[in-house]
């Protein structure tokens, strides 16, 4: 069994943005399209919060708004610096009613911007028409608040997602990485003519030698079994969940197995047996295709836990069986969307065999690179199955420290971003070193 994380074939532009980072695809895409820039030291500083002026500039550039040069600018704001870099962007945004100031006559260009304000700027800059929703778009977003139309519109396009507790937290300041992700998603939709962003586009990849590959979200854990099965699990940390076998309010999981189909049943025969055997009183059975493969999907939300199961008949005459469920807490709606996207990401891998990887040699090479500045990213890329365990935002005093775990090599790598250095490597899955 192999666990593989695949990343976009884009060059890493910044020393503090790793290919295994959640926002790597977004940051790299925007950098390649000249929407964002880094700092003089080669970093992007993804965790830095964004100011009103910075957000305005990034959004206008990403939205394709032309910024002509003017000789002078006139604004009704008392706190703007003469010849400030943001004045051309403010002129376009203010005259187009994309941004406004405060009642005290200030604009506060250097004040941090929160998610609600960001969504308003982004949606107005792109000329989208919004209206107040018929219901709360998120648990903590009432349908009547001023930013509800923007939150609802962004939710429908999958530009934003709730946090682990199921709430949006629209009043929280937005980081450079988070803003890059939202803008990237919108640009991807427009370039590809889509109605919404495919949330599974840049997820982790799990590939099995039995003939399939699926994608699963950041933050989920992959648990392998000796019988070839796999459990992909979003642990409910807030409610102290310890095991995946029962759903907690904000947990979700999908168990995946391959049925060898020893009786040689056709797809129709196998799916008919599934329908006959399942004792779901209110189940909905749907015959669908998943990436060109014939499949049966079963949905039932009448029990203690809602279930979404998908059976895919693979070209090698085996059946990929995926059993999904989720909790009933504030994250339930999004968890259902993730379970569905996970199952719909399944593809057939014609040759599931893998070449033997010299993990001992890779580990030894990585050990040589410990404490070598500007070689940390290279060391990480030696491992093609890294899963991030934890980020210490305080780090060692110079910047955030990430802990990455390699399932196949069974080692954890401690990586410091600021100097792009591998601090240490330990056997097993741990963050205590």
Range with lowest mean pLDDT among 54-68, 328-342, 371-385:
371-385
pLDDT in tens, 160-196: 999 999 999 999 999 999 999 999 999 999 988 999 9
225 pLDDT above the threshold of 80 = no
pLDDT band for position 5 (cuts 50, 70, 90): very low
State how far the Cα of 42 lies from the Cα of 173, in Å rounded to an integer: 24
- Average pLDDT of span 123-152: 96
Specify the 3-state DSSP secondary structure of 431.
coil
pLDDT at 209: 77
Please tell me what DSSP assigns to residue 131: -
Domain boundaries, the chain: 24-192, 204-348, 359-427
State how far the Cα of 380 lies from the Cα of 370, in Å rounded to an integer: 11
State how far the Cα of 208 lies from the Cα of 214, in Å rounded to an integer: 9
395 pLDDT above the threshold of 80 = no
- Average pLDDT of span 213-242: 90
State how far the Cα of 403 lies from the Cα of 218, in Å rounded to an integer: 14
Q: Of 65 and 397, which is predicted with more confidence?
A: 65
Query: For residue 249, how many other CB atoms are within 10 A of its CB?
Result: 18
Specify the 3-state DSSP secondary structure of 22.
coil
85-110 in b/e form (b: 16+ CB < 10 A) is: ebbbbbbbbbeeebbebeeeeebbbe
pLDDT in tens, 353-368: 444 577 888 899 899 9
pLDDT band for position 398 (cuts 50, 70, 90): low
8 pLDDT above the threshold of 50 = no
Query: For residue 131, how many other CB atoms are within 10 A of its CB?
Result: 9
State how far the Cα of 266 lies from the Cα of 102, in Å rounded to an integer: 67
Range with lowest mean pLDDT among 49-53, 120-124, 398-402, 428-432:
398-402
Name which CATH class applies to 204-348.
alpha beta
Please tell me what DSSP assigns to residue 356: P
Inter-CA distances, 41 with 14, 15, 238, 242, 287, Å: 9, 9, 37, 42, 54
**Residue bearing tokens 């030291």:** 41
pLDDT band for position 7 (cuts 50, 70, 90): very low
Contact at 8 Å (CB) between 51 and 81? no
97 pLDDT above the threshold of 80 = yes
pLDDT at 239: 94
**Whole-prediction pTM:** 0.79
280 pLDDT above the threshold of 90 = no
pLDDT at 6: 34
State how far the Cα of 228 lies from the Cα of 224, in Å rounded to an integer: 7
Q: CA torsion sign, 422 to 426 to 428 to 432?
A: negative
State how far the Cα of 330 lies from the Cα of 167, in Å rounded to an integer: 7
pLDDT band for position 68 (cuts 50, 70, 90): confident
Which residues have a Cβ under 8 Å from the Cβ of 94 and sit 6 or more positions away? Answer: 75, 100
């Amino acid at each position: 069994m192999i666990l593989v994380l695949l990343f976009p074939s884009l060059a890493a532009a910044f020393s503090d943005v790793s290919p295994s980072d959640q926002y790597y695809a977004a940051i790299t895409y925007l950098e390649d399209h000249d929407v964002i820039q880094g700092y003089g030291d080669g970093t992007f500083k993804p965790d830095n919060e964004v100011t009103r002026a910075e957000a305005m500039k990034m959004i206008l550039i990403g939205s394709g708004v032309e910024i002509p040069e003017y000789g002078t600018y006139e604004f009704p704001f008392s706190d703007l610096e003469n010849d400030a870099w943001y004045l051309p962007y403010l002129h376009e945004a203010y005259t187009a009613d994309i941004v406004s100031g405060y009642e005290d006559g200030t604009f506060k260009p250097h004040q941090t911007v929160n998610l609600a304000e960001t969504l308003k700027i982004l949606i107005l800059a792109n000329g989208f028409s919004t209206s107040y929703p018929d219901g709360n778009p998120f648990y903590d977003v009432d349908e009547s608040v001023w930013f509800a139309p923007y939150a609802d519109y962004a939710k429908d396009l999958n530009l934003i997602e709730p946090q682990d507790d199921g709430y949006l937290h629209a009043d929280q300041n937005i980081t450079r990485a988070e803003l890059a992700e939202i803008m990237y998603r919108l640009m991807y939709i427009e370039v590809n003519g889509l109605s919404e962003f495919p949330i599974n586009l840049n997820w982790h990849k799990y590939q099995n030698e039995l003939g399939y590959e699926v994608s699963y979200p950041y933050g989920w854990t992959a648990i392998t079994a000796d019988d070839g099965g796999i459990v992909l699990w979003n642990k409910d940390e807030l409610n102290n969940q310890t095991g995946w076998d029962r759903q907690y309010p904000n947990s979700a999981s999908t168990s995946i197995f391959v049925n060898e189909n020893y009786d040689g049943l056709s797809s129709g025969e196998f799916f008919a047996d599934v329908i006959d055997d399942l004792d779901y009183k209110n189940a909905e059975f749907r015959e669908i295709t998943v990436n060109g493969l014939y499949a049966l999907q079963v949905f039932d939300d009448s029990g203690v836990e809602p279930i979404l199961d998908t059976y895919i008949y693979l070209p090698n005459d085996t059946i990929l069986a995926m059993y999904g469920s989720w909790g009933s807490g504030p994250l339930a709606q999004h968890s259902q969307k993730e379970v569905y996207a996970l199952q719909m990401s399944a593809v057939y891998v014609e040759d599931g065999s893998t070449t033997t990887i010299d993990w001992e040699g890779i580990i030894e090479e990585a050990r040589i690179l410990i404490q070598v500045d500007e070689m940390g990213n290279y060391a990480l890329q030696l491992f093609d199955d890294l899963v991030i365990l934890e980020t210490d935002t305080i780090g060692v005093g110079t910047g955030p420290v990430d802990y990455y775990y390699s399932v196949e090599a069974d080692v954890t790598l401690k990586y410091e971003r600021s100097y792009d250095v591998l601090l240490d490597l330990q056997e097993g899955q741990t963050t205590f070193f």
